Amino acid sequence: MSVPGELYALVERFDRDRDAYSSGRYNEAQARVDIINPLLGLLGWDVENRRGRPDAYRDVVYEDRVKVGGGTKAPD
């Protein structure tokens, strides 16, 4: 199986900007947008739900908050 050029570009960008990604200013939401979502898309996942599927059938479901004990918090 051949590796798409977009994957090479994603890896090169990650390697080039590694210091920025390791800084305390770079957060999980940014990592999802810049690295994780593009990678999942290259692997065939419908990250943006372009097929218009309901929540139960989506490849990716974003959680806003989860209940933990008596309160709510953002998921990891």
pLDDT digits (tens, 9 = 90+) for 21-72: 898 889 888 999 999 999 999 999 999 999 999 988 999 887 766 677 777 7
Give the domain range for residue 50.
Answer: 5-73
Q: CA 56 to CA 59: how far, in whole Å?
A: 9
Q: CA 7 to CA 65: how far, in whole Å?
A: 31
The total of structural domains in the chain comes to 1
Would you state the pLDDT for residue 9? 93
Whether the CB-CB separation of 75 and 61 falls below 8 Å is answered with no
Q: What is the pTM of this model?
A: 0.71
